[in-house]
Amino acid sequence: MKTLVVKENDAGQRIDKLLLKTYSNLPVSMMYKGIRTKKIKLNGKRCSISDKVNAGDVITLYLNDEFLESGGADYDFLSAPGKIDVVYEDKNIILINKPAGLLVHPDKSESRDTLVSRVKRYLFEKGEYDPKLENSFAPALVNRLDRNTSGIVIAAKNAASLRILNQKLKGGEIRKFYLCIACGVLKRKEDTLEGYLDKDGDKNLVSISSQAQGGSRGIKTKYRVIGEKNGFSLLEIELLTGRPHQIRAHLASIGHPILGDRKYGLDGVNRKTGYDNQALCSYRLIFDFKNSGGEDSHLDYLAGREFRLGSVWFEDEFWKGIKNRG
């Protein structure tokens, strides 16, 4: 027999989700059967898989201990640097300025030094996060950026904030704006591009078409031209849909790829100007919350607030005039 006390960061989720995250060796079929046969109880009573737990609830499991090993606390994040560029921070969230070249999450090429690992170490050193004090929660990122894209990433410090921000992002209530340098001069100085994006997972490339094809997904990319100089354009982009490589591929599809983009850009132009990372930065966001109050009031104080970076690494050079270095 084992008991699990529900903590603050576990509250609000279904009992089956919590158990599967807490006990990695627990087979799904055994968990469901345990709930049906009352070998798993919530506060000493029969429960169902859809029951949501509250802080302080006690889950009792009358199952073999071999299936109830939590695996211990994971401190691998301590191998990552603990310094991050904080744009804004309060008790619930952090806005971080991610540098180009840093992954947000682990992949095959890098498993330790990622933005999420740096955030965990930062909060650990501040005394705001310790894996051994949590059942299943860890600080998490709300939005993502490509490895070579810089700019603002939102991190949630607690489960309630993460749940709300994920809902707001999905509902279009977090508006994200980017600055980029596009090659060439665009005929239309303001427009909303529409199309369909198809991803090749094996090559990690996307393609844009005007018609839906197979598993392609509709995309919308809004832009306005801020300035033009030396055959380049400085654009502000608002993502109306958020798909992998959307801005980069969408601009390339109309003949104006982003300067420095090694996947969708112009190699000759990149070499001549010396840009080896895409001139693309998530520089501004607005918490455009439509609904407030009720169980989602936890973050109402952010409604209507706007945050932006003080400077963008390529903006000054654009206004001075990008020159050939080759």
Please give the CATH topology (third level) of the domain spanning 176-283+311-320. Answer: Pseudouridine synthase (3.30.2350)
**155-187 in b/e burial notation, b at 16+ Cβ within 10 A?**
bbbbbbbbbbbeebeeeebbebbbbbbbbbebe
Instruction: Provide the residue-wise pLDDT of the chain in tens; the chain has 326 residues.
Output: 889 999 999 898 899 999 988 888 889 999 999 999 999 999 999 999 999 999 999 999 999 988 887 666 789 999 999 899 999 999 999 999 999 999 999 887 767 899 999 999 999 999 999 998 898 899 999 999 999 999 999 999 999 999 999 999 999 999 999 999 999 999 999 999 999 999 888 888 999 999 998 889 999 999 999 999 999 999 999 999 989 899 999 999 999 999 999 999 999 999 999 999 999 999 999 999 987 666 668 899 999 999 999 999 999 999 999 887 76
Alpha helix stretches (DSSP H) within 154-245: 159-170
Q: Could you tell me the CATH superfamily of domain 2-67?
A: RNA-binding S4 domain (3.10.290.10)
Are 103 and 146 in contact by the 8 Å Cβ rule? The answer is: no
**Domain boundaries along the sequence of the chain:** 2-67, 76-170, 176-283+311-320
Q: What's the distance, CA 262 to chain centroid?
A: 22
Q: Comparing 2-67 with 176-283+311-320, is the CATH topology the same?
A: no
pTM of the predicted model as reported, rounded to 2 decimal places:
0.87
Is the CATH number 3.90.10.10 carried by domain 76-170?
Answer: no
Q: What's the distance, CA 156 to chain centroid?
A: 10
